[in-house]
């Protein structure tokens, strides 16, 4: 491991939140990273640390311009449009023993909101505080309107991972799309590699929005939000088919994503991407791949609350023996990540 470059990138967790980054695109790179590097860094929670107790309401303590701060963007050396950026999450660990979830007025899947506009008054604004027990790998739910307590598995992940969009757009870190962004899928956990199509020179990768856990759909709009220490392995893949929408790979599954509205279009995008990927990996015709995917793909919803909705398509790799997605980069990055983590212990 002596020759693997490591970028330690410090984030100021107590600083002026207006200095942080809240868009994909439209901001200058904060650091540069070589392909094949370890990136050892951290992220603030989506509230930029402003929610600290059940008495803190988002509408009171947060400035809407400064929600969901991102770490980055990182200029990936040599990245040009058409390349594929590989981001392997080696480790995602809560920095704190507390996580926070809230309702936010006119935000969420089961309430009138800024796009599904209605004449209702907002639901009550409330905050829940979760205890995070890293030892026992649990988070502790505590009801606000009774004394009920439940313990749930800790399952850390990043809600927001992406690059600068195409067409000179700058998109809020609250939005997911073909550049990645706020996809809010619980699949974005340690052990997974995320593939992102590069739209601009240097890719301009950033990430944030750590969740100690979330349900699929992120129904109330807010997961168990917490700051994270995160180790990634960053690489660049040249000469593969362009990745039009973000993809993921774990040891056991390949996944595609679609992020748009309505939700059926997000499903369609994820499935068409998967049909094309399976065809390319196996040599199946498009119609044969359509049939194969129809019988094998899982379709977990990621989010139905953000400005675009996200759906995942997921196929077990053991259904597809002898295929090597993205030239086998996942296994290689996974090993690099494990080796780096071993040196840190």
Q: Does 265 bind a copy of itself (CB under 8 A)?
A: yes
**Cα–Cα distance, 345 to 341 (Å, whole number):** 7
Residue placing its CB nearer to a copy of itself in the complex, 59 or 296: 296
Taking CB atoms within 8 Å and a gap of at least 24, the contacts of 26-31 are 26/164, 26/169, 26/170, 27/73, 27/170, 27/204, 28/73, 29/72, 29/73, 29/74, 29/75, 29/202, 29/204, 30/72, 30/73, 30/74, 31/7, 31/72, 31/74, 31/75
Q: Does 185 bind a copy of itself (CB under 8 A)?
A: no
Q: Considering only residues 65 through 124, tell me which ones interact with a copy of itself, judged by CB under 8 A.
A: 65, 101, 103, 109-112, 115-121, 123-124
Shortest spacing between CB 157 and a copy of itself, in angstroms: 12
Q: Which of 56, 77, 133, 288 is close enough to bind a copy of itself by CB under 8 A?
A: 288
Residue placing its CB nearer to a copy of itself in the complex, 135 or 318: 318
Total number of residues binding a copy of itself (CB under 8 A)? 89
Shortest spacing between CB 143 and a copy of itself, in angstroms: 4
The single-letter DSSP state of residue 78 is T
Q: Considering only residues 12 through 41, tell me which ones interact with a copy of itself, judged by CB under 8 A.
A: 22-23, 25-26
Residue placing its CB nearer to a copy of itself in the complex, 221 or 337: 221
Q: Kind and range of the H or E element at 311?
A: strand 309-316
Q: Does 290 bind a copy of itself (CB under 8 A)?
A: yes
Q: Considering only residues 222 through 261, tell me which ones interact with a copy of itself, judged by CB under 8 A.
A: 222-224, 258, 260-261
Q: What does the block give as tokens for 16?
A: 């002026």
Q: Considering only residues 196 through 225, tell me which ones interact with a copy of itself, judged by CB under 8 A.
A: 213-224
Residue placing its CB nearer to a copy of itself in the complex, 291 or 338: 291
CA distances from 170 to 34, 166, 179 (A): 24, 9, 10
**Cα–Cα distance, 188 to 159 (Å, whole number):** 7
Residue 53, helix vs strand vs coil: coil
Shortest spacing between CB 259 and a copy of itself, in angstroms: 10
CB neighbours of 92 closer than 8 A, spacing ≥ 6?
156, 157, 158, 189, 190, 210, 228, 229, 230
Q: Considering only residues 122 through 161, tell me which ones interact with a copy of itself, judged by CB under 8 A.
A: 123-124, 126, 128, 139, 141, 143-146, 148, 150, 152
Residue placing its CB nearer to a copy of itself in the complex, 220 or 234: 220
């Amino acid at each position: 491991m002596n020759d693997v470059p490591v970028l330690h990138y410090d984030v100021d967790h107590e600083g002026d939140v207006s200095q942080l980054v809240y868009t994909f695109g439209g901001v200058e790179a904060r650091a540069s990273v070589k392909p094949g590097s370890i990136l050892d860094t951290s992220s603030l929670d989506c509230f930029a640390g402003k929610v600290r107790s059940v008495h803190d309401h988002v509408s009171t303590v947060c400035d809407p311009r400064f929600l969901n701060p991102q770490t980055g963007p990182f200029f990936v050396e040599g990245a040009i449009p058409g390349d594929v950026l590989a981001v392997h999450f080696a480790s995602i660990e809560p920095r704190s023993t507390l996580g926070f979830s809230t309702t936010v007025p006119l935000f969420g899947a089961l309430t009138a909101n800024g796009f599904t506009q209605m004449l209702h008054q907002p639901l009550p604004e409330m905050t829940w505080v979760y205890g995070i027990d890293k030892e026992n790998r649990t988070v502790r739910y505590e009801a606000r309107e009774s004394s009920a307590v439940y313990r749930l598995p800790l399952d850390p992940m990043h809600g927001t991972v992406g690059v600068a969009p195409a067409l000179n757009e700058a998109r809020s870190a609250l939005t997911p799309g073909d550049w990645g962004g706020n996809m809010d899928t619980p699949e974005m956990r340690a052990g997974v590699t995320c593939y992102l199509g590069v739209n601009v020179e240097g890719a301009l990768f950033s990430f944030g929005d750590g969740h100690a856990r979330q349900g699929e759909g992120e129904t109330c709009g807010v997961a168990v939000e917490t700051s994270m220490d995160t180790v990634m392995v960053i690489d660049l893949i040249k000469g593969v088919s362009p990745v039009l929408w973000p993809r993921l790979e774990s040891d056991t599954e390949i996944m595609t994503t679609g992020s748009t509205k309505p939700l059926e279009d997000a499903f369609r995008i994820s499935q068409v991407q998967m049909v094309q990927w399976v065809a390319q990996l196996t040599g199946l015709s498009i119609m044969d791949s359509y049939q194969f995917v129809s019988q094998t793909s899982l379709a977990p919803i990621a989010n139905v609350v953000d400005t675009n909705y996200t759906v995942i398509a997921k196929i077990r790799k053991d259904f597809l023996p002898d295929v090597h997605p993205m030239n086998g980069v996942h296994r290689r990055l996974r090993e690099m990540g494990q080796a780096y983590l071993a040196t840190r212990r």
